[in-house]
Amino acid sequence: MTGLRDKRALVTGGSRGIGRAIVERLARDGVAVVFSYLTSSDPAAEIVTKITAAGGTAHAVQADLGDRDAAAQLYREAEALIGPLDILVNNAGVVADDLIADTTDEVFDWAFGVNVKSPFILMREASKRLRDGGRVINISTLNTVMVGPRMAPYASSKAALELLGRVAAYELGERGITVNSVLPGATDTELFRDNNPEESRKALLSLTALGRIGEPADIADVVAFLAGDDGRWLTGQSIRAAGGLLA
The rounded distance, in Å, linking the Cα atoms of 61 and 35 is 6
Query: Is 154 noted as a catalytic residue in this protein?
Result: yes
The rounded distance, in Å, linking the Cα atoms of 27 and 43 is 16
Q: Compute how many other C-beta atoms are within 10 angstroms of the C-beta atom of residue 87.
A: 27
Indicate left, alpha or beta for 185 from its phi (over 0: left) and psi (-120 to 50: alpha): beta
String of DSSP letters for 118-140: HHHHHHHHHHHHSPTT-EEEEE-
204-226: b (≥16 Cβ within 10 Å) or e: beeebeeeebbebbbbbbbbbbb
Among residues 37, 75, 154, 170, which one is catalytic? 154
Q: Which residues lie below 8 Å from residue 197, measured CB to CB, with a gap of 6+?
A: none
Q: Residue 207 gets which letter from DSSP?
A: T
Contact 226, 178 (CB under 8 A): yes
**3 state DSSP class of 231:** helix
**Would you name the residues annotated as active-site residues?**
154
